Structure formats: C-alpha cells, structure tokens
Amino acid sequence: MKRIIALAAGAVLALGSGAALAQQDAKALATGVCSACHGPEGHSISPVFPNLAGQQPAYIILQLEAFRGHARGDPNAQAYMWGMASQLSDVTIKGLADYYAAQKPSPGEAADPALLAEGQRIYTQGIPTQGVPACASCHGPNAAGAGAFPRLAGQHPDYLVAQLVGFQSGTRANAPIMANVVRTMSAQQMKAAAAYAASK
C-alpha cells in the first residue's frame, strides 16, 4: 500500500511539472492517480479510503483544501492526503470535486437489523438525553448530504466510525460542529449510526 501511495504521489508531482495542475484534466487525474486508493470512479474497495462517487462537491473542495493547508490532521490525512493535495490548484480541486460528484454513488451496505434499528433512531431522532442531534438534520433523510455536509449513504461503515472517533478524540479537528455532536456518544452508538447511514 505504501508503494502505491508513493507512486501516486510521484504521478501528481509529474503532472505538475512544466505546467500548472490547473490545466490538467481532472478526470485523467482521478482515474490515473486518485483511483489507486479511491477506486475506479470513486468506488473504494478499502474502508481506509472513502468512497467519493456521488459525494457533495462543496464537501470535497473543503476537504482537499483542508488537506492542502494541513487543517485536517487525522493520521490518514497526514499519511496519504497532505502530500497528494499539496500540488493541487483551486481549479484542479474544483474539477476533481465536480468529477466525483457526477459519478454514480456506491450502493448502501446491509447490516444487522438490530444495529440498523438503533442507528435509525439515532439518525432520525438523535439522542436527546445526551444532547446529540439527529444526523438527518444536516445530512438529510436519505443521508445524501447537502453542500458542505457530506453524503454518508453508501459510505464504508468502518470509515464513518473512524471519522466519528476522530471528531470525538480531536485528531480530526476541522469540523467543530461534529466534535460537539459526537462528544457524548458511545462506541456502540457511533457504530449503529454509521451502519444506518451507510445502508442508505
């Protein structure tokens, strides 16, 4: 995996040599470099790397800018995306966001019915006794997201759990809203909410 990342990073640098990345074809960059981790057309096969197909373009732009500026400092961001995003121009970032947003989203993943039922309650109603708002209030009833709020539907459940843990621990500190949302959630509650959102 480290070899793939090194090769991909080298490809980004090669694309940038002699001409601005802004002039590169975003589709070629996505299919020739980003696909090493995020899969063909943004359908990742590893829960370490998120599915990007069908993701909200505004969200992708915010995250790539955060990687480039080192504002998103969770371990995988530092290991994989800081170097990858360092060579991206604003125009290229927008092109990548538009490319991935136009791809067909990944289908939802099945999960244990009891876990889904618990997750549905959290997603649609929140946990009032713990001050946790309903996930649907920002991510929408079908977890499709809107604007800066990401699509969660069809995402890897384990990836979603890892992000919630990162928000809670502070290792992913570029989303203060989420840090407050997950502040009191247990590991089981995170797992349930992630499973339900990913199943949509």
Q: Would you place residue 24 in the very low, low, confident or very high pLDDT band (cuts 50, 70, 90)?
A: low
pLDDT digit string (tens) for 142-183?
Answer: 999 999 999 999 999 999 999 999 999 999 999 999 999 999
Query: What's the mean per-residue pLDDT of the chain?
Result: 90
pLDDT digit string (tens) for 117-134?
Answer: 999 999 999 999 999 999
Report, at the CATH architecture level, how domain 2-101 is classified. Orthogonal Bundle (1.10)
pLDDT for residue 74 is more than 60: yes
Q: Would you place residue 25 in the very low, low, confident or very high pLDDT band (cuts 50, 70, 90)?
A: confident
Helix 187-199 to helix 157-169 angle, to the nearest 10 degrees?
Answer: 140
Domain ranges across the chain: 2-101, 113-199
State pTM to two decimals. Answer: 0.88
pLDDT digit string (tens) for 84-95?
Answer: 999 999 999 999
Domains 2-101 and 113-199 share a fold: yes
Measured CA distances, 112 to 31, 116, 118, 161, 196 (Å)? 34, 6, 10, 16, 10
SS3 164: helix
pLDDT reported for residue 109: 86
Report, at the CATH architecture level, how domain 113-199 is classified. Orthogonal Bundle (1.10)
Burial (0-12, 13-18, 19+ Cβ within 10 Å), 88: buried
In whole angstroms, what is the distance from residue 13 CA to residue 21 CA?
9
